[in-house]
């Protein structure tokens, strides 16, 4: 039977997150070829790819506080700047995926989603479903979105994945970033949590923080809370947070080998 995974290429991995608008093109290309290899090895594997914004969108968003709302002409100019940064990185990622031979198609959230106070109230996902049905790989990414209460705001890739889960019913969420997983002693990085559930969250909570780099969507703290929310709501789903720094680790994760921090109910 076909399996569907959602895979996020984290901005901490695909960009130099401390240096504005700096892509890691070699890493992006390597990840693209690992995805292509995993698909060649397992033709039943279907994917929705997402990617974060790293030092592209996050730098601009932090400068303009776009995540907090948009009202003045200057803030709308900032909204457009963040949109452009997110899109510029998306162009680089999509180009690398195409060059690796993957049949991808991007669905920019800013033009397809409407929010009300950060809650998605509309997203026409039938084109995305049809893309999967046609054997294509949809690509989404953290982006600016229009919001009926806040004017505009920002949705992370994880938030977008959560919206898609009830419609597409993936079996795994793979979040591939820079860190090896969730550390119980961050920033020392000596104790990796291999299995996180709502029952042992307390062990890791004191070490959970935002990103060390400029970031407006909450870093590891938000990621873990969102993933625990996911596995509570969808007990058959598992999320994995792991590093894509080592060659072949994304490919191995796509094959189901244990890696990083597994999050289940
Ligand atoms: N306990 C922890 N374990 C691991 N990382 C942690 C922890 N606490 C805080 N962090 C920070 O959170 C970061 C991961 O969150 P971040 O949002 O930057 O990842 P990402 O999804 O790859 O990036 P982006 O949002 O740009 O896509 C780590 O790189 C680290 O700096
Ligand atoms: C900052 C922007 C534009 C999107 C953030 O999405 P994320 O990188 O997935 O957290």
Summarised one tens digit per residue, pLDDT across range 230-248 is 999 999 999 999 999 999 9
Domain hosting 123: range is 3-263
- Residue 10 alpha carbon to ligand 2 centre in Å: 9
Q: Which ligand is nearest to the CA of 12?
A: 1
What does the pLDDT look like over 46-89, one tens digit per residue? 999 999 999 999 999 999 999 999 999 999 999 999 999 999 99
From 7, 13, 53, the mutation candidate for ligand 2 (largest count of ligand atoms within 8 A of CB) is 53
Alpha carbon distance 207, 37 (integer Å): 35
From 6, 9, 12, 18, the mutation candidate for ligand 1 (largest count of ligand atoms within 8 A of CB) is 12
Please give the distance of CA 157 from its chain centroid, rounded to a whole number.
Answer: 4
Ligand 1 pocket check for 244: Cβ under 6 Å = no
How many domains, in total, are found in the chain?
Answer: 1
Ligand 1 pocket check for 183: Cβ under 6 Å = yes
C-alpha dihedral (57, 63, 65, 67), degrees to nearest 10: 10
The b-or-e profile of 143-165 (16+ CB within 10 A means b, else e) is bbbbbeebebbbbbbbbbbbbbe
Coil vs helix vs strand at 185: coil
The pLDDT-based confidence of 2 (bands split at 50, 70, 90) is confident
Of 135, 102, 89, nearest to 33 (Cα)?
102
- List phi, psi (to 5°) of 105: -150, 130
What does the pLDDT look like over 180-195, one tens digit per residue? 999 999 999 999 999 9
Ligand 1 pocket check for 53: Cβ under 6 Å = yes
Alpha carbon distance 157, 11 (integer Å): 10
Of 182, 156, 176, 162, nearest to 53 (Cα)?
156
Measured from CB, residues less than 6 Å from any atom of ligand 2 are 11, 52-53, 57-58, 61, 82, 86, 142-144, 154, 156-157, 216-217
Alpha helices in 20-125 (DSSP H): 25-41, 54-64, 73-99
Alpha carbon distance 172, 132 (integer Å): 16
Ligand 1 pocket check for 176: Cβ under 6 Å = no
> Length of the chain, please?
265
H/E run at residue 170: none
Hey, what are 159's tokens? Answer: 């938030």
Alpha carbon distance 10, 43 (integer Å): 24
What does the pLDDT look like over 93-116, one tens digit per residue? 999 999 999 999 999 999 999 999
The predicted pLDDT at position 1 comes to 63
Alpha carbon distance 167, 126 (integer Å): 10
Tell me the average pLDDT across 131-151. 98
CATH code of the domain in which 198 resides: 3.40.1160.10
- Residue 22 alpha carbon to ligand 2 centre in Å: 15
CA-nearest residue, atom 4 of ligand 1: 182
Q: Is the pTM of this model over 0.95?
A: yes
Average pLDDT along the chain = 97
Of 133, 105, 104, 102, nearest to 37 (Cα)?
102
The predicted pLDDT at position 197 comes to 98
Distance from first CA to last CA of the chain, Å, rounded? 24
């Amino acid at each position: 039977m076909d399996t569907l995974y959602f895979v996020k290429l984290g901005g901490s991995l695909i960009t130099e997150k401390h240096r504005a608008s700096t892509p890691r093109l070699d890493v992006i290309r390597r990840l693209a070829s690992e995805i292509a290899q995993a698909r060649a090895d397992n033709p039943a594997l279907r994917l929705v790819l997402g990617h974060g914004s790293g030092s592209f969108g996050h730098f601009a968003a932090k400068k303009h506080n776009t995540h907090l709302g948009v009202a003045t002409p200057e803030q709308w100019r900032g909204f457009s700047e963040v949109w452009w940064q997110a899109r510029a990185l998306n162009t680089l990622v999509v180009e690398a995926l195409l060059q690796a031979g993957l049949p991808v198609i991007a669905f920019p959230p800013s033009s397809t989603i409407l929010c009300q106070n950060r809650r998605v109230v509309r997203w026409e996902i039938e084109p995305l479903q049809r893309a999967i049905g046609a054997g294509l790989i949809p690509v989404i990414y953290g982006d600016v979105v229009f919001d009926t209460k806040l004017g505009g705001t920002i949705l992370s890739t994880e938030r977008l994945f959560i919206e898609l889960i009830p419609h597409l019913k993936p079996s795994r969420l793979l979040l591939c970033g820079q860190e090896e997983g969730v550390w119980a002693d961050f920033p020392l990085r000596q104790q990796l949590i291999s299995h996180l559930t709502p029952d042992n969250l307390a062990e890791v909570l004191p070490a959970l923080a935002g990103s060390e780099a400029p970031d407006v969507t909450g870093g590891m703290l938000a990621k873990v809370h969102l993933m625990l929310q996911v596995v509570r709501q969808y007990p058959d789903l598992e999320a994995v947070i792991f590093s894509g720094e080592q060659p072949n680790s994304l490919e191995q994760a796509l094959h189901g080998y244990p890696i990083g921090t597994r999050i289940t109910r």
